[in-house]
Structure 1
């Protein structure tokens, strides 16, 4: 975007220079100053009409992926520190979430489509882990509320697993389509015209 602004402003400044120098017959120095002034003016107008990205602004996809990686690390740390009532459910969420987070990291353009999993579901898992840890601290590891927390964590894990299964199915479909195309190409090559001079 910035490059095109400079190109357009440069073209406008050059046109003004030619207008002053050839059209109006002004001195070269006057024409050059007019061209430079026009270039600066066109550049300012372009910035006002088409503002560029904010300084320091990053693409949304990488930001989402980086945030998801941080959440997943926290979740794994909480699973390692949790007691037997919650640790298995937390590990299931971490294992199910890992391929989705990795896909968002490797393909940031897909991160927006995974936004709900990367933000809401991972945040929900972290809140549930904190809630479960508070229950253990206040009422002990045998409190029935922990079973409810574990069941909700399993629902979060299921959401990640469903997304991973869907992605795997889509990838398998893509591979099968490519295989069909290659098979057709091979068949066409096999049954194509024979070289000259051969029966």
Structure 2
């Protein structure tokens, strides 16, 4: 049996995924968690083979949880199952160590097959998203640009961002200006929205 963990912040989605997968003769959902914080403990407690993780969850997102699991329990595989089929998310998930990335409207039989393939050590990626990712290229934003842009998206003033990230206001403005240029946006809010839509933040 392939021992599976399902992590999703929506109880209905979590329960539906678990119910569908438990119909498979070789898959058993042994743990369900509502956020990324509980993933690693559940993996250890239930000897999980494959984690199904959503990306946007409270406290710790699915990409950060992926990195945690892969560092602490390398034998456990991670399959990202998300509503947000964005190329930036795909790249970040694979960089964090995910073995697969599929969207939530994937048919149940294909999802079960993806779990089996990931469990065997293979990589499974939504084909359309993979093609878009190749066409779009990698995330052009530096780590610092991502950081200040994410804060700017929340409406934080430059002076406040500067204090929080221990940079001068001029340096923060330079990072924001660079991010605006890289996203082809007119201002920092538009740049932040563009970056978020592409999964770069």
TMscore range, shorter length: under 0.3
As a proportion of its length, which structure holds more helix?
1
User: Which structure has the higher relative contact order (CA within 8 Å, separation 6+)?
Assistant: 1
As a proportion of its length, which structure holds more strand?
2
Scaled by the length of structure 1, the TM-score of the pair is: 0.22
Scaled by the length of structure 2, the TM-score of the pair is: 0.22
